[in-house]
């Protein structure tokens, strides 16, 4: 039964997450809230792993979630669920889209989908930032409001943001930033 539920949840995600991999994140937060298969903290870890590993983030997230929930077969089934809508849609309308690409209605649909996918990606990005930089469960501990901020993550995020924007580092491959961030994470964990 869990396999059917995994396929169904990820089929819906694949069908409605217009905009690619990051657009799947709001759906994953919803799955987390409804099924309790994984926590929001585990989802943040999944995002980090999926972003730093080869392949499309949506597929990596489906595979990771399915594996976490129901083992290797669960990973395969969740991934198949996620990609099935795209395969079906491509087979059904792939040939027609080029014929009607200049249609007013097709243009209008794409005009509406672009900001929707942008909003989904932005909302997911803000959710990741919020869960990584702030821990409101520590509000009652010593430190008050300042104890809510994950200072190590905040310093690392600001540092990486400015380093990546600097002209000396703009041409570096993103893998270098991912590797350095992983190394800094190890150092921070033991500090």
Find the mean pLDDT for residues 88-116: 79
**Rounded Cα–Cα distance for residues 75 and 2 (Å):** 12
Task: Identify which of 129, 104, 115 has the alpha carbon closest to the alpha carbon of residue 44.
Answer: 129
Helix, strand or coil, per DSSP, at residue 61:
helix
- The reported pLDDT for the residue numbered 139 is 62
Q: What is the mean pLDDT of the chain?
A: 82
Task: Identify which of 69, 73, 84, 81 has the alpha carbon closest to the alpha carbon of residue 34.
Answer: 69
- The reported pLDDT for the residue numbered 145 is 67
The distance in angstroms from the start CA to the end CA of the chain is: 44
DSSP string of 109-140, one letter each residue: HHHHHHHHHHHHHHHHHHHHHHHHHB-GGGTT
Helix, strand or coil, per DSSP, at residue 176:
helix
pLDDT tens readout for residues 38-83: 888 888 888 888 777 777 878 888 898 899 889 999 999 999 999 9
**Rounded Cα–Cα distance for residues 28 and 168 (Å):** 37
147, two tokens: 């104890």
Band of pLDDT at residue 19, cut at 50, 70 and 90: low
Band of pLDDT at residue 17, cut at 50, 70 and 90: confident
Beta carbons within 8 Å of 80's beta carbon, 6+ residues apart:
7, 10
CA angle 11, 85, 116 (to 5 degrees): 85
pLDDT tens readout for residues 127-162: 878 888 887 776 666 556 677 788 888 888 888 888
Residues 69/34, Cβ–Cβ less than 8 Å: no
Quick one: CA torsion of 144, 146, 149, 152, rounded to 10 degrees? -130
Residue 170 DSSP class: T
Domain ranges within the chain, ordered by starting residue: 1-133, 134-191
Task: Identify which of 185, 163, 184 has the alpha carbon closest to the alpha carbon of residue 174.
Answer: 163
């Amino acid at each position: 039964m869990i396999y059917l539920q995994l396929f169904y949840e990820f089929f819906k995600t694949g069908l409605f997450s217009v905009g690619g991999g990051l657009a799947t994140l709001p759906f994953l937060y919803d799955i987390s809230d409804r099924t309790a298969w994984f926590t929001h903290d585990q989802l943040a870890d999944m995002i980090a792993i999926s972003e730093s590993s080869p392949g499309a983030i949506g597929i990596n997230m489906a595979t990771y979630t399915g594996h976490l929930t129901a083992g290797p077969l669960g990973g395969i089934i969740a991934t198949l669920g996620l990609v099935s809508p795209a395969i079906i849609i491509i087979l059904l309308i792939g040939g027609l889209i080029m014929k009607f690409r200049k249609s007013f209605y097709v243009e209008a649909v794409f005009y509406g989908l672009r900001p929707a996918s942008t909003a989904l990606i932005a909302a997911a990005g803000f959710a990741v930032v919020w869960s990584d930089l702030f821990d409101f469960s520590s509000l009652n501990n010593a430190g008050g409001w300042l104890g809510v901020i994950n200072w190590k993550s905040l310093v690392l995020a600001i540092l990486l943001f400015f380093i990546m924007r600097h002209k000396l580092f703009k041409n570096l491959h993103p893998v270098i930033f991912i590797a350095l961030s992983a190394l800094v994470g190890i150092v921070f964990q033991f500090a």
